[in-house]
Structure 1
Amino acid sequence: MPQSAPPRVAEPLSAAPTGTPLPREVGGGFVAVLAFCGIAVSVMQTLVVPLVAELPQLLHTTSSNASWVVTATLLAGAVSTPVMGRLGDMFGKRRMLMVALALMVIGSLTCAVTSDLVVMVIGRAIQGGAMGAIPLGISVMRDELPPHKLGSAMALMSSSLGIGGALGLPAAAFVAQHTNWHALFYGAAGLGAISIALVLAIVPESSVRTPSRFDAIGALGLTAGLVCLLLPITKGGDWGWTSGTTLGLFGAAVVILLLWGVFELRTTEPLVDLRTTARRQVLLTNLTSIMVGFSFYAMSLILPQLLQLPEATGYGLGQSMVMAGLYFAPMGVAMMLVSPLSARINAARGPKVSLVLGLLVIGATYGAGLVMIDHIWQIVVLSTALGVGIGIAYSAMPTLIVSAVPAAETGAANGLNTLMRSIGMSTSSAVVGVILAHQTIDFGGMALPSKDGFKISFLVACAASVVGLLIALCLPGRQRAKRATGSGPVATSAPVADSGSSVADSGPSVADSGSSVDSVPAGVPVAVAAAGAVAEVVDDLPDLTAGVIHGRVLGPGDTPLADAAITLIDTGGRQLGRTVTGRDGRYHLPAPDAASVVLIGSAAGHQPQAATLLVSDLPVVCDLRLSGGGGLTGSVRAVGGEPLAGATATATGPEGEVAGSVTADEKGEFALPELAPGTYALTVAAAGHRPYATQVELTAGEPVRVDAELPPAARVRGTVRDRGGRALGDARVSLLDAYGDVVGQVITGADGSFGFEALTGDHYTVVASGYAPATRQITVGGAAGTERRDVDFLLGHGDSDGDGEE
C-alpha cells in the first residue's frame, strides 16, 4: 500500500470514501435547525389527515380516488429515502437535504394552486421526495458533532418524525376549519422555504463523501419493487385482499425485490449495501422499525376518529376537528421532551435497552387502551404515554444503525431505516382501515366504526409492539462486547469517558477510516481503541456477533488457511479456548471472561502469529496473517539485554492445544523439558512489550534454544494549546500510520492533553484539529526512535499547518 504524502495527510481524512471527519465548530442552532427540518417534513406528510373525509368533495372525485392523495406521498417517500441517502453519501448530505426541502416547497405550491385530483396527486408525490430529509439530517449530525453531543441530537432528529405529525395535526385541523384548505399547502411551502434558508445559514456541508457512480438500475428496481409492495398494502382494502390485482402486485413485488437483491449483491457500487444491511444489528433494527411504525400510526388513525364520533353512539366523545387535534397534541410534546432522556439511556445502558423500554411503554399503552377510551382525559393520557414510548424507541434506532455501519454509508442506511418505518405505517393504515371498515354500527343510516373495532385495532397494535419487543431482545447487547486492540494505539482521554456518550453510540469508527488489522506485521499486538470508535476492523464480514472473537487466518498472498489452529490464552498462559479454521479461513471463539488475552494462530509450514486482545465494547474481529514457517529452553530479554522476569513462554501443538507454559525466572530464563518431539508454536509475552512468536521443531536430541527479544510498546503524549498558550479541550487528535491510515483518535481533556499507548509501528503522523489542522511526523521505537515521544501543538485561526513542538 503506497504511503501518503505527509504534508497532505489531513486532506485524505475528509475526502476518502470511508474517512473519519475532523470536527468543526458548528453553531449553537445546528441541531435545532436540522430538527426543525425534520418536523417541517413530518408536518407536510400529515397535512391532509384532517381533510381525509372531505377530500372526495373538495376534489370532485370518489373516496377511492381521493385516497391517492395520501398514498402518493407514502409511495414517493418510501422510494426517495434510500435514494436520497445514497446521493447524500456521494454528493454531499447538506446539498441533498436542500434538494429534499426544495421538493417539499415545489410539491406544496403545486397542491396549493389546484383542486384537480391528478395535479394534486402529482404535487403530493413531489412532496414525498422530501421524506429523505430526516435520514440525511441524522447523517450530517454524525459527521459534524463531537461524540458527547451526538446521542441526544440523533434522538431529537429521529423523534421529529413523530413530533411533527402530532403537533401538525391540530394546526392543520385549525387551518382547514377556519380558512381555505389550500392555505395548508401554502403554509407547508413556507416551512420548506424557512428550512432551506436556515440550512444555508447554519448547517455546514458534511466532509464525508463516497465518490462512486450512482446505481440507476438499482434505484429503478427498488422503486418498482416498493411500488408493487406498498400499493396493494395501501389499496388492498378497496380492491379486495384476495383480488387478482392485489395478489398479483404482491407476487410481482417478491419477484422484483429478489432480482433486485441479486443485482445489488453483484454490483460493485450498489444503491444499498445488502451485506451491511444483513448484519444482525442493522437487520433486526430495521425489522423492529416496521413494528414501531405500525404502532405509531395506528394510534394516529384511531384516536382522532374516536374523539370526533358523536356522543350519541355511546362511546364517541363528540369533539370538533380542532379539539380532536389539540387532545392529540400531547403525543408530540411528550416525544420532544423525552428525547434527552432517551439519549441518556442510550449512553448509560445502550440503545438496545432504550429500544426495549420504548416498546414496553408502547405495548402497555395499547393494553391500557382496551379499557381507557371512555373519557377525554383517558385519551390524553394514552396519547402522552404513546408519545413517550415512540420517542424513546425512535431515538434508539439511528444510534443502532450508525454504530453498525461505516460513516460513508450512514445516509443510505438511515434512509433504509426510515423506509422500514414507512412500510410499518402504511401497513398499519391498511390493517386498521380494514378493521374499522368491517367493525361498524348503523347510526342514522351511516356506518360508523364500532367500539369493538377500536378495541380490536388496539389489540392488533399491541401485538405489533410485542413482536417488535421480541425482535429487539435479539439485538446484540453491550454486556460482553469486545474490540481488538493493537494495530494502532490505545487512545486515552478522560473527558471522553466523562462525556456521557457510550462508545457504541458515538461517532465514526476506526474501521471507517480504512484502518485494518491486515496491515499489522506478525507477532505484534493488535489494537484498535479510540474515543467514540466502533470496532469493525474487517470490512467484508457478513455479521458482527456479540460475545465472540472471530476473523480470518490468511497465508502468503491473502490465501485463506483452512484447518489452522487458533488458541486463546490468558496472560498467565492458561488456555481459554481452541478451534480450527474452516475452508474460508474463518474462525469463531467464545469471548472469555478476561480483561486481556493472547490469540495464537498456527498452521503447518507457516510461522505462527500471536496478537494481544483487550476487552472493549464490541465483538473482537482479528485477522491473523501467517508467513512461511522455519525452525526447550530459552531466554526473554528486552531491547538492550535486560532480562524480563515474569514473562510467559507458551508452547502450542499442531492442533492449537497448549502443550506447556512457564514463567521466566529473574534472569529471564525459561525451560519446558516435558515437551515431546514434534512441531510447536512458541509464544513469549510480557507486560508492556510486544509478544513474540515462533515455530520450533523438537527432536529426541538436544533441546532447542530460543532467545526472544521483546521490543517495548511505545507511546506518544502531548498537549494542544492556542497561540496564547491556553490549553484547548475537545480538540480532535488523530494518529496516522506510515501508510496514512488512521489508527487512533482521541479528544483532548480540559488541560489539552492527549495520549496514545501501545504503539507497534515506527513512523507516525499526528494530526491535531481545532481551529485549523496541524500535523507532525514522529518516529517511535526502533533504532531511530524512542519508546516515548512528547508532541505539543499550537493551533490558531488562519493557519492551515499549525505548529508542532516536541
Structure 2
Amino acid sequence: MPDYPGTRHTGWNRLLVGQVAVLLLVNVMVDTVITAPVIVLPRMIEHFGTDQPAWLNSSAMLAGAMWSPLLGKTADRHGKRKVLVLTLVLAAVGALVCMVAPSLWVFILGRVVQGAAVASLFLTVGIVRDLCAPRIGMIVTGIVTTGNAVFGIGSAFLFDVLGDVYGYQVVFVVSGVLAVSTAILVRFLLPESLVRTPGRIDVAGALLLGGGLALGAAYLSFGSEYGWFRALPLVLAGAAALVGWFLLARRVPEPVVDITDLGRPLVLTLLVVVLGTGAYQSMLQLFSLLTEVSPDQGLGYGLAGGAAIGLLLGLPSIGIVLGGTLAGALATRIGPAATLAAGVALGTVGTVGLFAAAATLPLAAVCSFLLSLTAGTLVTSGFNMASILAPPQRQAAVSSQVMVMIALGSVVLNFVGAAVLKATRVTVGGATANSATGVFGYVGIGTAAFLVAGVLAVSLVRTQRGTPATERVGSSHGLG
C-alpha cells in the first residue's frame, strides 16, 4: 500500500501518470456497466421477450442514483479508496448475476447490484481532488471522467460482433473481469485519503431517497403498459418515500443529502446536470433503437446499416474524451460554469439536428458526435463545479449529488422516452414498430430538456461571474 503524499501534485510526473491510469481503468469498467449494454440492447430485448428497454438499459443507472448518496457519505467518513474497492467488488457480483440470469427480474436484480459501479465515477473524482492541487486537478478530472471513452471506439464494434457470436452475456463477462482486476489495482496502487468526516451514516435517508426514485421510475415504465391510473399506487408510494426522506433530512443532524446547505450555485449546477446528461443518455438509447430499423421500411426514420452501430455508439467516443479534456483545461481559464453552459449549447444543436437526421446516417453521426462532446463537457464541468463549491471534508458527498443527477436524468428521460415510443407504436406488415410520431416526440423531449438546461446554465454563469475558477476550492463557504 503506497503512502499518501504529503503534498498534492501541482504538475505532471511519473507517479501521477500511473495513478491516473488506474483511475481511468476503473472508469473503463464503469463504461461496461453504463454504455456497453446499450450495444447489445436489441439482443437482450429478444432474449428476455420484453418491450421494456429502459429497464434493461437504465436499471444500473437507477441503482447508481440509489447507491451514490450512501456511498458518498461513507467515503467521506471511512476513506474513498476503501469504498471504491467495495463498489468494484459489488460490480463484479452484479455482472455475474446478469451473466447467468434465468429471467428478466433476476437480470434486473443483477443490474441493481452492478449499479454500485456508477458510484465509482464520483469516487475517482474525489481521489483526484485528494491527489492534485486545484488547477491541475481540473484537467485531470476531465481526463479521468472521460478518457475511458477511448475504450468505446473499438468496443462498440467488438461487442456488436461478439454479441452475435456469444450473446449479450459477453458484455457482462468483460465487465466482471475488469471489476475484479481494478479492485486489486486500486487496493494496492492508490493511497487512502487522510481527510475524514466523523459522524453517522444516514442509512434510512438513503433507503427512502433511493426507494422513492425507483418507484417513480417504475410508474413511468408500467404506466404505459397497465394504465396510468392502475399504476398510480407506485407513484404515490414513491412520493411518500421522498416526502419521508425530505422530513428526515430536515431532522437528523447528518442527512445523506444536506438540503439545508445546498446553495443557489450548487442547485443550479445539479439542475443543469440532471437535464443535460439525461437528454444525452436518452438520445444514446434512441440511437441503439434506430440502428435496428432500415430507412427502406418506410417508417420515416431508420439508420440500419453495416456501420451504423459503430458510427453512432463507437467513433463519437472520441468526442467524449475531447469534450471532457477541453472542458477541464478551459475551466482553469473561464471557470467550469461557462464550460457547463457551452456543453448545453452543443447538446441543443445536436439534438435539434436529429429532426433532420433520423433517416440519414452521415448526418446522424454528426449529431451523435456533437452530443458526445456534450457528454464529456457536462460530466467534467459538473464535477469541477462541485469541487469548487465543497470543502475537502465533503468532497465525496457533494460529488455524489452530481452523480445522482447524472443517473437520475438518464433514468427519467430514458423511461419517459420509452413510454412515448410504446404509446405511439404502429403495426407494419403484421409486426409492431415504433412510429415516426414516437421517435420525433422522443427527440422533442430531449430538445426541451436541453433548452431548459440552457436557461439554468446562463443563470449559473451569472452567479459565478467575477469569481476565479479555483479561488474557492476547499472553502467552507463554497455551498452558500
TM-score (norm 2): 0.89
Q: Which residue of 2 aligns with 1:276?
A: 261
Amino acid at match of 2:17: G
Q: Which residue of 1 aligns with 2:431?
A: 446
Distance 1:282 1:21 in 2: 30
Distance 2:35 2:275 in 1: 19
Alpha-carbon contact 2:278-2:413 (below 8 Å) kept: yes
| Aligned pair partner of 2:238 in 253, 261, 264 | 253
| Aligned pair partner of 1:363 in 337, 345, 348 | 348
Alpha-carbon contact 2:153-2:316 (below 8 Å) kept: yes
Q: Classify the secondary structure of the residue corresponding to 1:447.
A: strand
Distance 1:71 1:330 in 2: 22
| Aligned pair partner of 1:288 in 248, 269, 272 | 272
Q: 1:111 and 1:253, CA in 2 relative to 1: closer, same or farther beyond 3 A? A: closer
Q: Which residue of 2 aligns with 1:317?
A: 303
Alpha-carbon contact 2:149-2:318 (below 8 Å) kept: no
1:381 lines up with 2:348 in the alignment: no
Q: 1:194 and 1:232, CA in 2 relative to 1: closer, same or farther beyond 3 A? A: same
Q: Which residue of 2 aligns with 1:227?
A: 214
1:372 lines up with 2:351 in the alignment: no
Amino acid at match of 2:215: C
Q: 1:214 and 1:70, CA in 2 relative to 1: closer, same or farther beyond 3 A? A: same
Q: 1:224 and 1:427, CA in 2 relative to 1: closer, same or farther beyond 3 A? A: closer
Q: Which residue of 2 aligns with 1:717?
A: none
Q: Which residue of 2 aligns with 1:592?
A: none
Residue 327 of structure 1 and its aligned partner are, at CA, apart by 3.6
Residue 71 of structure 1 and its aligned partner are, at CA, apart by 5.2
Q: Which residue of 2 aligns with 1:44?
A: 33
Amino acid at match of 1:368: G
| Aligned pair partner of 2:86 in 99, 103, 118 | 99
1:508 lines up with 2:474 in the alignment: yes
Q: Which residue of 2 aligns with 1:131?
A: 118
Residue 164 of structure 1 and its aligned partner are, at CA, apart by 6.6
Q: Which has more strand, going by share of residues? A: 1
Q: 1:458 and 1:68, CA in 2 relative to 1: closer, same or farther beyond 3 A? A: closer
Distance 2:361 2:390 in 1: 44
1:352-382, Cα deviation, whole Å (9 max, x unpaired): 1111111111111112222233332112111
Distance 1:21 1:259 in 2: 43
Amino acid at match of 1:503: T
Q: Classify the secondary structure of the residue corresponding to 2:8.
A: coil
Alpha-carbon contact 2:282-2:413 (below 8 Å) kept: yes
Amino acid at match of 2:267: L
Residue 412 of structure 1 and its aligned partner are, at CA, apart by 1.6
Alignment of 1:257-656 (within 5 A): 257-277=242-262, 279-314=263-298, 315-320=301-306, 323-475=308-460, 476-481=462-467, 502-504=469-471, 507-509=473-475, 511=476, 536=478, 544=480
Distance 2:33 2:356 in 1: 33
1:667-709, Cα deviation, whole Å (9 max, x unpaired): xxxxxxxxxxxxxxxxxxxxxxxxxxxxxxxxxxxxxxxxxxx
Distance 2:128 2:427 in 1: 52
Alignment of 1:23-172 (within 5 A): 23=8, 26-55=15-44, 57-59=46-48, 62-63=50-51, 68-70=55-57, 72-159=59-146, 168-172=155-159
Q: Which residue of 2 aligns with 1:683?
A: none
Distance 2:210 2:378 in 1: 28
Q: Which has more helix, going by share of residues? A: 2
Distance 2:50 2:371 in 1: 34
Alpha-carbon contact 2:62-2:408 (below 8 Å) kept: no
Distance 2:470 2:46 in 1: 55
Distance 1:227 1:21 in 2: 42
1:441-477, Cα deviation, whole Å (9 max, x unpaired): 4332122223343333222211110100111112154
Q: Classify the secondary structure of the residue corresponding to 1:29.
A: helix
Distance 1:236 1:300 in 2: 23
Distance 1:304 1:337 in 2: 22
Cα RMSD (Å):
2.7
1:124-168, Cα deviation, whole Å (9 max, x unpaired): 221112211011111111111122311112223333687777865
Distance 2:288 2:456 in 1: 30
Distance 2:153 2:416 in 1: 21
Q: 1:37 and 1:414, CA in 2 relative to 1: closer, same or farther beyond 3 A? A: same
Structure 1: segments with no counterpart, 5+ residues: 1-13, 15-19, 482-500, 512-534, 537-542, 545-806
Alpha-carbon contact 1:43-1:168 (below 8 Å) kept: no
Alpha-carbon contact 2:58-2:414 (below 8 Å) kept: no
Q: 1:118 and 1:301, CA in 2 relative to 1: closer, same or farther beyond 3 A? A: closer
1:501-530, Cα deviation, whole Å (9 max, x unpaired): 93247x433x3xxxxxxxxxxxxxxxxxxx
Q: 1:120 and 1:456, CA in 2 relative to 1: closer, same or farther beyond 3 A? A: closer
- Identical positions, percent: 23
Alpha-carbon contact 2:135-2:470 (below 8 Å) kept: no
Distance 1:295 1:63 in 2: 21
Deviating more after overlay: 449-458 vs 104-113: 449-458
Q: 1:457 and 1:280, CA in 2 relative to 1: closer, same or farther beyond 3 A? A: same
Q: 1:461 and 1:72, CA in 2 relative to 1: closer, same or farther beyond 3 A? A: closer
Alpha-carbon contact 1:135-1:411 (below 8 Å) kept: yes
Residue 236 of structure 1 and its aligned partner are, at CA, apart by 3.1
Distance 2:104 2:302 in 1: 32
Q: Which residue of 2 aligns with 1:214?
A: 201
Alpha-carbon contact 2:92-2:180 (below 8 Å) kept: yes
Q: 1:42 and 1:268, CA in 2 relative to 1: closer, same or farther beyond 3 A? A: same
Alpha-carbon contact 1:352-1:400 (below 8 Å) kept: yes
Q: Which residue of 2 aligns with 1:574?
A: none
Structure 2: segments with no counterpart, 5+ residues: none
Q: Higher relative contact order by CA 8 Å / sep ≥ 6: 1 or 2?
A: 2
Q: Classify the secondary structure of the residue corresponding to 1:281.
A: helix
Question: What is the total number of aligned residue pairs between the two structures?
Answer: 470
Alpha-carbon contact 1:151-1:347 (below 8 Å) kept: yes
Distance 2:272 2:153 in 1: 21
Alpha-carbon contact 1:441-1:450 (below 8 Å) kept: yes
Q: Which residue of 2 aligns with 1:696?
A: none
Distance 2:441 2:453 in 1: 18
Alignment of 1:700-739 (within 5 A): none
Distance 1:164 1:223 in 2: 30
Alpha-carbon contact 2:303-2:360 (below 8 Å) kept: yes
Distance 2:325 2:50 in 1: 45
Q: 1:127 and 1:166, CA in 2 relative to 1: closer, same or farther beyond 3 A? A: farther
| Aligned pair partner of 1:244 in 210, 230, 237 | 230
Distance 2:55 2:443 in 1: 26
Deviating more after overlay: 465-474 vs 181-190: 181-190
Residue 235 of structure 1 and its aligned partner are, at CA, apart by 3.4
1:317-360, Cα deviation, whole Å (9 max, x unpaired): 3325x741444212221111222211122111111111111111
Q: Classify the secondary structure of the residue corresponding to 1:48.
A: helix
Amino acid at match of 1:284: L
Residue 273 of structure 1 and its aligned partner are, at CA, apart by 1.8
